């Protein structure tokens, strides 16, 4: 069983290494991430949101729904921690 597990790890790891050859170079200006929405954020985020900090504009405005989800995740983590650990008086 251990041998099968080890084989699986090696095969999947090898596949991931082979697939990483197709990844764009680090900071490649022609990669899809750099040519799709990034130029718009860089050029227009201050004009559209009047926030000089582009990261804040993307985090809270363009991707506001994502940030709402993150906040809900943190809230759920806190509630779960209380539910699991807190002792209730009988």
- Give residues in contact with another protein (CB under 8 A): 47-53, 55-57, 59-61, 64-65, 67-68, 70-72, 74-75, 77-79, 81-82, 84-87, 89
CA separation for the pair 90, 85 (Å, rounded): 15
Closest CB 15 distance from another protein, rounded Å: 35
- Residues 8, 23: Cα–Cα separation, whole Å: 23
Distance, in Å, from the CA atom of 62 to the CA atom of 54, rounded to the nearest integer, reads: 10
> Which of 2/86 has CB closer to another protein?
86
The vertex-34 CA angle with 47 and 37, nearest 5°, equals: 45
Residue among 28 and 70 whose Cβ is closer to another protein: 70
Least distance in Å: CB of 37 to another protein? 17
The tokens describing 63, both together, are 């991707």
Both structure tokens of 23: 């990844």
Beta carbon of residue 33, minimum distance to another protein (angstroms, whole number): 21
Least CB distance to another protein at residue 48 (A): 7
């Amino acid at each position: 069983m251990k041998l099968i597990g080890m084989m699986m790890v090696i095969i999947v790891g090898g596949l991931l290494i082979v697939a990483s050859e197709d990844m764009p170079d680090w900071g490649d200006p022609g990669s899809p991430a750099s040519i799709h929405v990034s130029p718009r954020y860089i050029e227009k985020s201050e004009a559209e949101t009047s926030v000089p900090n582009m990261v804040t504009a993307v985090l809270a405005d363009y991707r506001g729904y994502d940030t709402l989800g993150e906040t809900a995740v943190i809230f759920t983590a806190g509630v779960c921690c209380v539910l699991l650990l807190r002792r209730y008086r009988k």
